[in-house]
Structure 1
């Protein structure tokens, strides 16, 4: 029998174990993260599941079924520093509750094999590379690039992994975990204000948006702050500031989002006009063509504004990922599951990235279920969701699981 209130209690217990007054502290490969893993393992030990850690450090719990075809339910226990009590771990503990129900209903052997996965280092908070564990499993993983990563204390990713029994060079072997996967489900808090604004507890996710990340550097002329008239300055910061306004027009024009997340200036002293101003630009859209158009518009605007200010501009590549659309049948199944527990369903894209994107990139039919976030806030100690909505999303995930199991059976025949 499903007990959604048990998930709420376990979430609170995990918060007590791994959080403090500043929020969640389950940063990947730290003591608190290991404690969270042990918390999960202790509960899995009460079920007839096979538990193991793959070569990348992802934790798997497998409930063998009549079929070797597998339904995966995923999440991540790691958090950002001073994070929220639900981001990632809700997915895992709700999946645990679904495993319990399946075990009871089918006497330990459901129609298909069902596997719960806790992906390692989804957040990328420590080493700056999100989706570490799921990208290893999906095959989008460059060991040489990963070997260059260090945290703020100078600890390498490879050394951090060694501390938890994982060898970085072996991580790509995690691809073997997906060989029998027929579908993947992931529950997550929305981390945005859409569902709350509509007064809805749950939503079916269309996919994760594509992301383009670049540096844009405006080059001007350093000059004395006291003796240089305003009308003859070649102020790189002025060009960057005008561009900061322009990205809102670009985002509105295409229906996406654009963010300048950091600004660096040189020479960086109070008595000099800025000679060099480097900014980072993050652009996101669910439509690949519109995302490309947004980046082109950004380059055109930066070039124009630089020229108007007597400056030049250069562009640098940081990272990108294409939009990932989820499986249409599973989106329909998710909407139907939501309508079993609440009168209205809504379909929406995910602005943040999730492990589900990497699984979908591996060619596995994928769907996500969102539950409302209060105030739309996440990655913050005030992150919250109504307890009644948490219980509702556990029920909806359970019903989606049944529908996915049925869909896998239909696909097989």
Structure 2
């Protein structure tokens, strides 16, 4: 049974038909459709001599025991955002399934190291607003009390959703035991951006996941009648916020990072009043920690300047942050070599989106990712797509990287 990337493409199509509709993928974590997606994977794993189980956090594992107890992990996630794309997350898992088939056949069910495929639970965070749930439980970056406060828009808590699938939230940190023998972690993913397509390249090794700073910036001005208040005496909180929204583009360009104002809330929020209070959310990302810190400091400085100039004050609130996560240099080299075995050119690039790989790297496991080109750079959308030839190449690259990484693990012993 040689590697069959075309089978992966067909399984992805079958998976899309089973778990999507005319609006896109509907594999939101812990829903009936997500459970159907899990069964699709389990049915195919049943044909292999692997040990399957769900860990304390709800992640699904398939283990092919090897000559060595040291483990090579290949991971991804079957869950999606509502109306999502047909490849995001599930390509990782189904490509890993095909690699597991090849490894089992080549080594007669006993590879030189133990190989494990994992479907991480709720990578997207689409339902409860907290991304990387399952992998953060395994990495140890998990606060049960904070998680217990999360609820979806229908008022169902994360704990209640987990109970429905046989998981107790308080037990989720026990998933850390799954990484005790992990020697390396590999993850394949669609790029979800336009870089590889712009360069005309099918695949790229990933340097790491960028650091993220998320904050609220709230400008406080003075409500006043929109008809009787002259323009030159207004203390318009929205004007100050709008100037910052423009300035963050300058900051991003200066540091070669990215910045986004994602939401705007105004009070009193009526057409006949100058805005008294304006709260914006700011998202800043960079692969370099020093640049990221500078971007946040420069945004604060600019906000204070615009507030002063507009007769306003400004305050800041912390939403969430994560440091840049750099992948293992030797595995990046191996990933690049695996790609160059298939195509004459490639490009190393950072990941702007977060991935489960970031959490596993944070846990100290040598990690690397492969990106495959995304058409139009679009993801989290039903039009998300990748050329079938490129999907097949990505499966081949992951397979080659698996062999190289098994040899690397043996050499580290």
TM-score using structure 2 length: 0.99
Residue in structure 1 matched with residue 181 of structure 2 by the alignment? 180
Residue in structure 2 matched with residue 305 of structure 1 by the alignment? 306
The more displaced of 224-233 and 259-268 is 224-233
Q: Map residues 5-154 of structure 1 onto 2, 5 A cutoff.
A: 5-154=6-155
Gaps of 5+ in 2: none
Tell me how far apart the structure 2 counterparts of residues 127 and 267 of structure 1 sit (CA, whole Å): 29
Tell me how far apart the structure 2 counterparts of residues 204 and 3 of structure 1 sit (CA, whole Å): 22
**1:210-266 CA deviation, whole Å, 9 max, x = no partner?**
000000000000111111111111000010011110000000011100000011011
**1:263-296 CA deviation, whole Å, 9 max, x = no partner?**
1011111111110000000000000000000000
Are 2:284 and 1:254 equivalent residues in the alignment?
Answer: no
Are 2:289 and 1:288 equivalent residues in the alignment?
Answer: yes
The more displaced of 223-232 and 292-301 is 223-232
> Which secondary structure does the structure 2 equivalent of 1:369 belong to?
strand
Q: Map residues 143-292 of structure 1 onto 2, 5 A cutoff.
A: 143-292=144-293
> Which secondary structure does the structure 1 equivalent of 2:218 belong to?
strand
> Which secondary structure does the structure 1 equivalent of 2:205 belong to?
strand
Tell me how far apart the structure 2 counterparts of residues 27 and 269 of structure 1 sit (CA, whole Å): 36
Deviation at 1:134, TM superposition (A): 0.2
Residue in structure 1 matched with residue 359 of structure 2 by the alignment? 358
Residue in structure 1 matched with residue 368 of structure 2 by the alignment? 367
Tell me how far apart the structure 1 counterparts of residues 256 and 243 of structure 2 sit (CA, whole Å): 21
Deviation at 1:348, TM superposition (A): 0.5
> Which secondary structure does the structure 2 equivalent of 1:284 belong to?
strand
Tell me how far apart the structure 2 counterparts of residues 238 and 52 of structure 1 sit (CA, whole Å): 55
Tell me how far apart the structure 1 counterparts of residues 152 and 270 of structure 2 sit (CA, whole Å): 28
Deviation at 1:86, TM superposition (A): 0.2
Deviation at 1:128, TM superposition (A): 0.3
**1:328-377 CA deviation, whole Å, 9 max, x = no partner?**
00000000000111111210000000000000000000000000000000
Tell me how far apart the structure 2 counterparts of residues 78 and 179 of structure 1 sit (CA, whole Å): 25
Tell me how far apart the structure 2 counterparts of residues 393 and 225 of structure 1 sit (CA, whole Å): 58
- Over the aligned positions, Cα root-mean-square deviation in angstroms equals 0.4
Tell me how far apart the structure 1 counterparts of residues 17 and 223 of structure 2 sit (CA, whole Å): 52
**1:116-173 CA deviation, whole Å, 9 max, x = no partner?**
0000000000000000000000000000000000001110000000010100000000
Tell me how far apart the structure 1 counterparts of residues 32 and 307 of structure 2 sit (CA, whole Å): 48
Are 2:381 and 1:380 equivalent residues in the alignment?
Answer: yes
> Which secondary structure does the structure 2 equivalent of 1:341 belong to?
coil
> Which secondary structure does the structure 2 equivalent of 1:222 belong to?
coil
Gaps of 5+ in 1: none
Deviation at 1:47, TM superposition (A): 0.3
> Which secondary structure does the structure 2 equivalent of 1:352 belong to?
coil
Deviation at 1:31, TM superposition (A): 0.6
Deviation at 1:381, TM superposition (A): 0.5
**Residue-pair matches, total:** 412
Tell me how far apart the structure 2 counterparts of residues 349 and 209 of structure 1 sit (CA, whole Å): 7
> Which secondary structure does the structure 1 equivalent of 2:341 belong to?
helix
Residue in structure 2 matched with residue 348 of structure 1 by the alignment? 349
**1:73-111 CA deviation, whole Å, 9 max, x = no partner?**
000000000000000000000000000000110011100
Tell me how far apart the structure 1 counterparts of residues 40 and 100 of structure 2 sit (CA, whole Å): 16
Tell me how far apart the structure 1 counterparts of residues 23 and 242 of structure 2 sit (CA, whole Å): 33
Tell me how far apart the structure 1 counterparts of residues 8 and 33 of structure 2 sit (CA, whole Å): 20
Deviation at 1:307, TM superposition (A): 0.6
**1:299-347 CA deviation, whole Å, 9 max, x = no partner?**
0000000111110000000000000000000000000000111111210
TM-score using structure 1 length: 0.99
Tell me how far apart the structure 2 counterparts of residues 17 and 309 of structure 1 sit (CA, whole Å): 55
Q: Runs of 4 or more off by more than 4 Å in structure 1? A: none
> Which secondary structure does the structure 2 equivalent of 1:283 belong to?
strand
Tell me how far apart the structure 2 counterparts of residues 11 and 224 of structure 1 sit (CA, whole Å): 58
